[in-house]
Structure 1
């Protein structure tokens, strides 16, 4: 005996065909004018033993399967006989067969999407990479059908101006602006075979990117700035060419702290600005200069220190120690999303404190932001470090 609830319904037939649509097989074959890949769906229905107890249900099920075929427009119904000498012979549906695109679109309600996809593929004949992307991503291509002509226009312009060194803002393709490129960057990146991250997208295509800058306070003489200029924001590549010669440097994560620390003669203070700290750390003229890094005492603070050390292995951390953390317990906060990444750029004491933070030794997601450290404590530590 079988449960009528488990008998195959027209929706079950559609689900089988729907999988062929969703995985791209049907729209791809249709767009390429390939023969329809016939789909046969075995129908789970009543057995001969069910007819006695579920006769009315069996008849209703057969009627539903037949109605679902829409007189053969959605699928053909193949029938077979069940029963025998004792129970009598009854003819019931045994298979649903979809053997044309017209039937599949009728069953799924996808005729308009199928036509749109075929038009997308046909429009892309002279842009092979766009056509290849559409054929591998039919559902996404259908969703973009209304903008496909503009996407092709953007693709052609990007490909034609590859390695030009121009800014994307200079795009002149019909209907395309930087907002359009930004909105569809992941698709264009896939078509052009480049990373989808904004900066890497432009760099990989040979376009200009927004220059990296560093903000610093300094003794103007050591950086080559005019007398009286004590702060500047400069492009990293241009700052490198200044051939600065400071006696020492301090990279500070927090902006207000950066503005507050003293700048001794012959020194330079650079705003790290969180994970942008490796911009400052990448300056070649810091390689032979004593460098201090002062960041938050939390997992990401040590993550930034780890990145700074990738450029400046000799950089020393300041005010990122266990004593400072424990002395300011009343000022602790909490990290919203701590990291647990392995930090190979930390020294043993830093590694031990980082491990304590990761394992919640002092509490859940403990952090001490540098702007919460007592100022007299901070200045004393900086003086002891020779600042």
Structure 2
């Protein structure tokens, strides 16, 4: 015996799973009308749960929702003639939405879809993936979305920066947060390919130059860049510097890189996150001995694997089990671990430690941030390493 609350729960699951398909083809014949049997009990079952059966009938007698409720009569030997709710029929997806108090969302999405299809007929039946955008964007955001889409369609190769787009109310934060929505709609409107996920190339926009922060730790190398020791440089200009250091150290966090003192023949890059692979495009970096030092956590190892895909000879430093265990009192926890079970470019000891972290062997989601490792241990090790190139290294 399905009560109205049971039907609502069933429709919630159905709507969540199917509403995009319904939106793409709201009149699909195989779906509608949607018929939901309400579970008319047998006489024996009704007698065994008489109070529940009476409450079930009363609930449907007082129901005033959307759809057509079909009743039936049963001639029972001991209980006489009983009129009971048998089926609920819903004519289309809007009636399902109404059951869930989402009729306004459905109507808004339909109105906006119709407006976009009038402007771009190629979008007919192709906006189901954008249902939440159409249903939930405030009017100002939706109008800005359409205006931006129209402008990008008319100016496929503007060569402007994002901030230069002459669209009322548009700002960089707004468009940055909606890149994926704009890219998907623009591909459909124009028929262009996604250009390997490059939003700027897809939209014909100029990308702000990628800038890398580098510290030059050798006085002789600093002389080659006008005595500067801390530079933030576009990557194209960095490639032209031709510094040719013997050692390149890449650290995950900014403060670690700032803590470095002078080291012979060495430069340090910092705070690149998963963008570390861009360093492989700088010829003099790929010719140096490269070292990566990240947090001992799953993301630190994921970044290392990502980097080693482009710089296969890079060595990790201070990312080993002895270092982790020696700093047990300084552990924290990762808010969210990296999803991959395996990382293809880790070396055996690194992979063993990564799997231990994933499996919570040291403890729940253990993390040792690189800044927490004792500097009076780190710095002498680094000095010895770069003063004597073949010195033992704490890492891999």
Q: TM-score range by the shorter chain?
A: 0.7 to 0.9
Write out per-residue CA displacement over residues 318-351 of structure 1, whole angstroms, 9 at most, x where no aligned residue. 666778x49x93687326336676455456xxx3
Deviates more, 1:219-228 or 1:105-114: 219-228
Counterpart position of 1:118 = 110
Correspondence 1:79-98 to 2 at 5 A: 79-84=72-77, 88-98=80-90
Write out per-residue CA displacement over residues 6-32 of structure 1, whole angstroms, 9 at most, x where no aligned residue. x222334445555565422665566x7
Q: Secondary structure at the match of 1:311?
A: coil
| Aligned partner (choices 37, 60, 76) of residue 69 of structure 2 | 76
Q: 1:145 to 1:75 in 2, by over 3 A?
A: farther
Retained in 1: the 8 A contact 2:160–2:206? yes
The TM-score normalised by the length of structure 2 is: 0.71
Report the Cα distance in structure 2 between the residues aligned to 1:117 and 1:357, rounded to whole angstroms.
45
Counterpart position of 2:128 = 135
Retained in 2: the 8 A contact 1:295–1:320? yes
Q: 1:142 to 1:238 in 2, by over 3 A?
A: same
Q: Secondary structure at the match of 1:123?
A: helix
Q: Give unpaired runs (5+ residues) of structure 1.
A: 1-6
Write out per-residue CA displacement over residues 266-288 of structure 1, whole angstroms, 9 at most, x where no aligned residue. x3413233534433343112333
Q: Secondary structure at the match of 2:309?
A: helix
Counterpart position of 1:40 = 35
RMSD value, Cα: 4.4
Report the Cα distance in structure 1 between the residues aligned to 2:328 and 2:60, rounded to whole angstroms.
70
Counterpart position of 1:4 = none
Retained in 1: the 8 A contact 2:215–2:268? yes
Is 1:228 the counterpart of 2:221? The answer is no
Q: Secondary structure at the match of 1:250?
A: strand
Q: Give unpaired runs (5+ residues) of structure 2.
A: 188-192, 392-396
Retained in 2: the 8 A contact 1:76–1:97? yes
Equivalenced residues, count = 367
Counterpart position of 1:205 = 203
Write out per-residue CA displacement over residues 259-304 of structure 1, whole angstroms, 9 at most, x where no aligned residue. 533254xx3413233534433343112333x324152473555554
Counterpart position of 2:167 = 173
Q: Secondary structure at the match of 1:174?
A: coil
Counterpart position of 2:178 = 184
Counterpart position of 1:11 = 5
